[in-house]
Amino acid sequence: MSNENNRKGVIVGLFVFFGIVIIIAGVLTLGGQKKTFVKAIHVRAIFKDVNGLAVGNNIWFSGVKVGTIKSINFAPDASVIVVMNLEEKVKQYIHEDSKAKIGSDGLIGNKIVVIYGGSANAPEVKENSTLAVEAALDPEQIMTTLQANNKNLLAITGDFKVISERLSSGKGSIGKLLTDESVYNELTAAMTSLKSATSHANVISKDLAGYTDRLKTKGSLADDLVSDTVLFSRLRATVTQMNDVADKANGIVSNLSQASSQFNNSNTPIGALLNDQKAASDLKETLRNLSSGTAKLDENMEALQHNFLFRGFFRKKARQAGK
């Protein structure tokens, strides 16, 4: 009996021992996951809304778990103060200008705090440092945006349906193009004409390019006009002289015009002779009288030469002329 009781006591003792070992192992395991036994510092962040963040949730930095949430409390202004336990060994990588935001562990997992950013020149965080925060995306706002996008998508789909129906029925320009063979043929002809015009334009462009190259040929007139300053100066002087000649010619033409106007004016002597028939007749009569008077004067002189009174005088004149 005594041996049996001792055996039962040993068995119970073993069960108790193994139970304590299991409990200690579980506590150590859970403590290791929650960083309970890791040396840590306390860092704060103040959020407007934590979106369901709870004590014990994880803290990530660059995708690595670096701590857990220690406490969540309200501030006097109704904001939420989140105190985080950060492993002391990672504080050298987290700086005072780093930021914190609320995220999710997976698509629909637990809420977490994500620490990111920070410059190497800024000091590292220390006990009770406060990190700046970034506003987290509100799931309700996301759903509202998705609903609005769904409505817009439905409206766009309805518009596409109307457009496709109009195209199928041959309405509108594109509908006619799809259903009317004549419109397609006309468009094809127009495209052919456009291609032809483009080809002609290319030919003209090439001709112009060739002409330009010829103008740039050394020794050509165009090149001399552009590059030879002496020739250009002479050409300019020639043009100036031609302008002077043109001005003088204009003066001569003006004088001839004035003379012509005088010829046409019957009040001037030459105009009267050219335009007044009576004056012309008088002039002709005067010329006839002058011719007749000259003939009679010749006859009188001939008579005087044969007159005995003047005969000696004329013979004397003749002898003097002969000498």
What is the amino acid identity at position 12? V
67: left (phi over 0), alpha (psi -120 to 50) or beta: left
β-bridge partners, 41 = 86
* Exposed / middle / buried, residue 167 (Cβ in 10 Å: 0-12, 13-18, 19+): middle
pLDDT tens for the chain, 323 residues: list them: 556 666 766 677 777 777 887 887 766 665 555 555 568 899 999 999 888 889 989 999 988 899 999 999 999 998 999 999 999 888 889 999 999 998 888 767 788 999 998 888 899 999 989 999 987 666 677 778 888 888 888 888 887 777 777 767 766 666 666 666 776 677 778 888 888 888 888 888 887 777 777 666 666 666 666 666 666 677 777 878 888 877 887 777 777 777 666 666 666 666 655 566 666 676 677 777 777 777 777 776 676 666 666 666 666 776 776 66
Q: Which residue's structure tokens are 């220690």?
A: 70
Q: Which ranges of 82-133 would DSSP assign to H, the alpha helix?
A: none
Which of 115, 85, 112, 86 has its CA nearest to residue 98? Answer: 115
